[in-house]
Amino acid sequence: MEFRQVIYFLEISNSGTFQKAATRLRLTQPALSKQIFLLEKELGVTLLERGGRSVRLTHEGERFYQYSIRMKELWEEIQNGFSKENELKGNFSISAGGTVSAWILPQILKKILKKREGLSLSVREGDASETKDAVLKGEVDLGILTGPIAEPSLNVLDFLSDKIYPVAAKDHPIFLKKKIRIEDLKRQSFVFFHPGSALRKAVEKKIKTFTKEFGPNIAMELRSVESVIKSLEAGLGIGFLSEYSINSKLRKIKFEDWNVERKFYLCYRKKSGPGLALLAEEILKSAEQWNSEKENLSHKHRKGG
């Protein structure tokens, strides 16, 4: 058995299909299938059930998956143990929600990868529960979650703060009113994120402080930030977005004392090697620099400079 076969098996298990795994691993599908065939032949068991477009772990595959996670962790620990103290290299995976994955991480990781030639990073988008589970199970190395987080097995570090605003297309009828109240919103249609979204939970919690009887008319429930934005741009309703994802086609709705903030946190397992702690530190440093540059640019625009 070769260690690369273990990595291939994990990637197929997490991707759900040979095709997706082959693309991420930069292999051809036949080459990937051959390696898994050789692995199964050596072990004398079938690890994956092939059927339709997706694959499923067999009972033996579930057992081998747990062994594979431990082997991957041990290999990373060995690599980190023989690396120089200030050297950050290797393959790491990150899970985060749609806003962070689309509007925050690309800018931050671009800076890091430019400086670290031996570093490889992959990002998986998932809602709060999916990200938390992925970190706890060892499916990803690092997760970005909204707080509060009470998990004794995780290291939790402050990442960034975020503000959530009600928004609509610039020509939405709601903006014809001189003063917008919560009662005005009750009569509108809404474009919401799906119930598992951390952003939606924060919004619903805030709405309850305004009124106990607010049952929003939900026209759409969507998973991706991009889908929500496109629907709002098309005038299909009012929605709630992070300040990081509001574009020039949308306008903030200002009413009463609306103020919703949330904090993002970096999380990783306490039993992880020093390389992951170094990566977390690098991400925090780059995030602080990126946020500072963003605020300076915004300040210049407000001054007309």
The distance of Cα 138 from the centroid of its chain, to the nearest Å, equals: 15
Paired residues of 284 in beta bridges: none
In the structure encoding, which two tokens stand for residue 91, read together?
């393959």
CATH number at 162-262: 3.40.190.10
Question: Quick check: 127 and 222 in contact, CB under 8 A?
Answer: no
Domain ranges of the chain: 1-82, 162-262
255 phi and psi, to 5 degrees? -150, 145
Nearest to 133 by CA among 106, 157, 120, 151: 151
Contacts of residue 14, defined as CB under 8 A and 6 or more positions apart, other chains included, come to 21, 124, 139
Report the distance separating Cα 232 and Cα 246, nearest Å: 11
Chain centroid to CA 239: 20
Pairing state between β 189-193 and 154-169: unpaired
Q: Give the lowest-confidence range in 32-41, 205-214, 229-238.
A: 205-214
Model confidence at 180, pLDDT cuts 50, 70, 90, reads: confident
pLDDT tens-digit readout, 202-217: 888 888 887 776 677 8
Q: Is 74 helix (H, G, I), strand (E, B) or coil?
A: helix
Identical fold, 1-82 and 162-262: no
What average pLDDT does the segment 237-249 reach?
94
Mean pLDDT of 288-299: 75
Given this model, what pLDDT does residue 87 score? 67
Condensed to tens digits (0 to 9), the pLDDT of residues 51-108 reads 777 899 999 999 999 999 999 888 877 776 665 555 678 889 999 998 999 999 998 9
Stated pTM of the model: 0.66
On the 0-12 / 13-18 / 19+ scale of CB atoms within 10 A, 115 is exposed
- Do 116 and 145 meet the contact criterion of CB atoms below 8 Å apart? no
Q: What angle do CA 272, 7, 20 make, to 5 degrees?
A: 115
Calculate the average pLDDT of the chain: 87
Indicate the fold that domain 1-82 takes in CATH.
Arc Repressor Mutant, subunit A (1.10.10)
